[in-house]
């Protein structure tokens, strides 16, 4: 669903929002979104399709503006979805009518090899900073001295968003290009990524009785940011995958916008507030606020907290007001920006080398305090990642008592040189997790103790290995901290495929002590299950039956199910094809022969040193071997492969598009059962690309690499031998 809609019908004239009258044209389809009918797409002429597509785009752009810019939707989810579906149907039927600024084109284009550059017509300069009220007053006095006047004048005061500065270029109302600030004169071309940000209009709004004038060229400056809630979700996902966490929303926003694959950017909930313009051809303004009002009218998102103040004292009051709202807002701020409102005065004041004389960034007090590190403890996450946490003397930061602060990883500890007993500055920005900002080394007494990560997991005693900057527990199959994640992966469809063992059920079994490792799944008894809440005899029977069915996996799925770090579906297939069984990894003394075994693994095409070390570490851990033997005793089959045993032996297949006679999962399973490998992505190692209906980007990449492409019928015949 696109909108949290509350309204199904519109009136002809809507209320003012941000002092802008929003007026809908009378007698448009908007007034009956629930009952409108359309001519069958197949019966449309090109002329009819063009007219309807243009009307739909205008209508959808308006509703996007209401939702993303004004936060005031006037159509239901269902009504909006129908408009989008209709436009998608027309563009699919008439692909020549698709325009770059169509609302359907926000999903992200193909990955780029690298970013190009765009030169700014007018420089995007940084701002001078003030950190106190007196410095803000001095800024005001400096302007008055330059202008040789004691007369007060207006400032535009606006929240200073902590994000990434960008420029959006519109030509004749259509979004043409977008770039980062860069060095102020030349920025990176991130046009494709900015297209995916839903609050960036692909066409300026020009509808209703008071249409906005559309200039020939409009360069809009703004700040792309990641809302706090979006930041939390992204970091939770990264932690689940064992990826390094973003340290703050600004870094997350910058990292999201600078992805070479725009589809990754599209998956992140980025937003924007615009605050100024560069070059404008075809329209003039007399004040900065007049320009902002125009941007709002044209559909550009402007912060609703922006205000005009009469004096510098009014600006200081505004600063205090916004700082008081800081915790309650859904985005991160680090101050307010003051700008002389009169554009003629701005012109007269001019620029320094690096910043304008007519603007100031009036920063907030940093949310920091000094305290002492009493100790450092290590927590183990769901993915096995070990995270050091500083135990602090309690201190109040931003109105909240802080007793713990993250140290991220050993590299972070070493870089900051944090020791137990150190006096440190801790920082809490908004509602982000507190962290140790730096050490006050002048207060060291010589009794402080350095810290190093433990050699064994504090939860299960398994060996700890470092991958990149992160330390991981190698006892994946039995570590209590990883148990939920391990079971979910082990029982997933692409692994052992145990239907009915959902996350809530796993949590229930673990809490009641029925499952302490993945092997315990195969020792579950119906009598124990039915005693639990929300379980009946039928559902217990179904689960037991599903568990029994899972006892005969292919070797690829068995290896994948073990959750070895760095071993996904493709790598599991490589290992199965190369080593034929798990036996080579289960030999006694494997740990003693670790170096030789790593070399043997790295001799296999596609296996690098980190993956090789991860595989050896996994099978060298006694706890993992114990659980694997427990699986074998429970009746789980440990299949072996023999050269030539399957008609697809040693061949790698990739599927793209919709298959008629198989589901994608069925086709992959069939490949594995016949001795082949189902690849997850296009590479030169793929032997056959099976193209179904409407193949996607994988098909284009396969053609470019010169891979052999076969039909579903040809694949079916190969399977049948």
What are the residues whose beta carbons fall under 8 Å from the beta carbon of 70, sequence distance 6 or more? 17, 18, 22
Burial 295-324 (b: 16+ CB within 10 A, else e): bbbbbbbbbebbbebeebebbbebbeebbe
Tokens of 678: 């189902």
Q: Kindly list the distances between the CA atom of residue 720 and the CA atoms of 24, 671, 685, 691, 692, in Å, as whole numbers in the listed order.
A: 62, 11, 23, 18, 18
CB 615 within 8 A of CB 554: no
* Cβ within 8 Å of residue 32, ≥6 positions away: 9
Phi/psi for 304 (5° steps) reads -70, -10
Cβ proximity of 405 and 436 under 8 Å: yes
Nearest to 361 by CA among 182, 184, 224, 162: 162
Write out the two tokens for 60: 């959808």
160 a catalytic residue: yes
Give the residues across from 21 on adjacent strands.
16
Identify the CA nearest to 551 among candidates 625, 627, 635. Answer: 635
Asked if 488 and 474 touch (Cβ cutoff 8 Å), the reply is no
Give dist(CA 666, CA 716) in Å, integer.
12
- What's 67's DSSP letter? I
Q: Helical H runs in 592-685? A: 594-602, 609-620, 622-633, 664-673
Q: What is the CA radius of gyration of the chain?
A: 30
Please name every residue paired with 690 in a beta bridge, in sequence order, or none if there are none: 655, 710
Residue that has been written with the tokens 């070895």 in this structure: 564
Of 39, 148, 160, 580, catalytic? 160
Enumerate residues 6+ apart whose C-beta is below 8 A from 114: 260
* Sheet with strand 174-180: strands edge to edge: 174-180, 164-171, 217-225, 271-281
Residue from 130, 11, 10, 7 nearest 78 by CA: 7
Handedness of CA 256, 257, 263, 269 (dihedral sign): positive
Contact criterion met (CB below 8 Å) for 522 and 564: no
> Rounded CA gap, 25 and 11, in Å?
10
- The answer to whether the beta carbons of residues 117 and 189 sit under 8 Å apart is yes
Contact 477, 457 (CB under 8 A): no
| Look-up of token digits 């399973």 | 669
- In this structure, the number of other CB atoms found within 10 A of the CB of residue 149 comes to 11
User: Which regions of 311-469 does DSSP assign to beta strands (E)?
Assistant: 333-340, 359-363, 368-380, 385-397, 400-406, 423-427, 435-439, 464-467
Hey, which residues are catalytic here?
A: 160
């Amino acid at each position: 669903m696109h909108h949290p809609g509350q309204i199904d019908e519109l009136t002809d004239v809507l209320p003012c929002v941000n002092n802008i009258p929003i007026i809908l044209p009378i007698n448009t389809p908007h007034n009956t979104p629930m009952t409108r009918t359309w001519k069958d797409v197949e019966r449309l002429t090109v002329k009819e399709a063009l007219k309807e597509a243009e009307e739909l785009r205008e209508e959808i752009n308006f509703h996007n503006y209401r939702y993303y810019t004004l936060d005031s939707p006037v159509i239901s989810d269902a009504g909006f979805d129908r408009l989008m579906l209709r436009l998608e149907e027309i563009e699919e039927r008439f692909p020549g009518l698709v325009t770059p600024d169509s609302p359907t084109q926000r999903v992200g284009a193909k990955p780029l090899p690298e970013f190009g550059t765009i030169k700014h017509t007018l420089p995007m300069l940084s701002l001078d900073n003030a950190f106190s009220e007196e410095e803000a007053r001095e800024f005001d006095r400096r302007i008055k001295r330059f202008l040789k006047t004691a007369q007060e004048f207006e400032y535009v005061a606006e929240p200073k968003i902590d994000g990434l500065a960008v420029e959006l270029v519109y030509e004749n109302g259509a979004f043409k290009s977008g770039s980062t600030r860069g060095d102020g004169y030349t920025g990176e071309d991130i046009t494709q990524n900015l297209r995916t940000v839903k609050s960036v209009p692909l066409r300026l709004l020009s509808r209703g009785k008071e249409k906005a004038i559309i200039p020939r060229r409009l360069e809009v400056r703004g700040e792309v940011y990641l809302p706090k809630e979006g930041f939390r979700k992204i970091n939770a996902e990264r932690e689940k995958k064992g990826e390094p966490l973003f340290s703050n929303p600004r870094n997350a926003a910058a990292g999201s916008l600078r992805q070479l694959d725009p589809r990754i950017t599209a998956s992140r909930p980025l937003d924007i507030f615009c605050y100024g313009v560069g070059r404008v051809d075809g329209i003039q303004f007399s004040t900065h606020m007049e320009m902002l009002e125009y941007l709002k009218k044209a559909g550009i998102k402007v912060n609703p907290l922006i205000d005009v103040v009469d004096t510098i004292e009014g600006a200081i009051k505004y600063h205090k007001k916004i700082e008081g709202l800081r915790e309650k807002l859904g985005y991160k701020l680090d101050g307010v920006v003051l700008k002389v409102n009169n554009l003629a005065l701005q012109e007269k004041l001019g620029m320094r080398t690096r910043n304008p004389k007519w603007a100031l960034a009036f920063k907030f007090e940093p949310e920091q305090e000094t305290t002492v590190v009493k100790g450092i403890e290590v927590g183990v996450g769901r993915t096995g990642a070990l995270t050091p946490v500083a135990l602090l003397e309690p201190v109040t930061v931003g109105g909240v008592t802080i007793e713990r602060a993250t140290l991220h990883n050993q590299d972070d500890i070493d870089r900051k040189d944090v020791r137990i007993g150190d006096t440190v500055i801790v920082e809490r920005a908004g509602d982000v997790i507190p962290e140790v900002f730096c050490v006050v080394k002048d207060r060291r007494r010589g009794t402080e103790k350095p810290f190093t990560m433990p050699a064994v997991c504090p939860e299960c005693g398994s060996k700890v290995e470092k991958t990149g900057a992160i330390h991981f527990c190698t006892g994946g199959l039995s570590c209590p901290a990883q148990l939920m994640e391990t079971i979910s992966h082990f029982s997933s469809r692409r692994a052992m495929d145990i239907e009915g063992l959902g996350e809530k059920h796993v949590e229930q079994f673990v809490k009641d002590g029925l499952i302490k490792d993945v092997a315990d799944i195969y020792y579950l008894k119906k009598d124990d299950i039915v005693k639990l809440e929300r379980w009946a005899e039928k559902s217990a029977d179904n689960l037991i039956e599903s568990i029994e069915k899972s006892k005969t996996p292919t070797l690829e799925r068995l290896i994948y199910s073990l959750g070895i770090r760095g071993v996904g579906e493709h790598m599991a297939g490589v290992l199965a094809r190369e080593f034929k069984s798990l036996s080579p990894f289960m030999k006694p003394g494997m740990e003693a022969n670790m170096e030789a075994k790593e070399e043997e693994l790295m001799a296999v095409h596609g296996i690098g040193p980190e993956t090789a070390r991860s595989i050896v570490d996994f099978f060298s851990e006694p706890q993992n071997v114990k659980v694997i033997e427990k699986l074998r005793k429970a009746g789980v089959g440990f299949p072996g492969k023999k050269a030539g045993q399957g008609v697809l032996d040693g061949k790698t297949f990739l599927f793209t598009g919709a298959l008629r006679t198989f589901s994608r999962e069925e086709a992959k399973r069939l490949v594995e059962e016949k001795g082949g490998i189902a690849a997850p992505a296009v590479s030169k190692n793929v032997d056959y690309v099976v193209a179904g209906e409407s193949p996607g980007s994988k098909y284009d990449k396969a053609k470019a690499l010169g891979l052999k492409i076969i039909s579903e019928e040809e694949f079916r015949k190969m399977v049948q031998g």
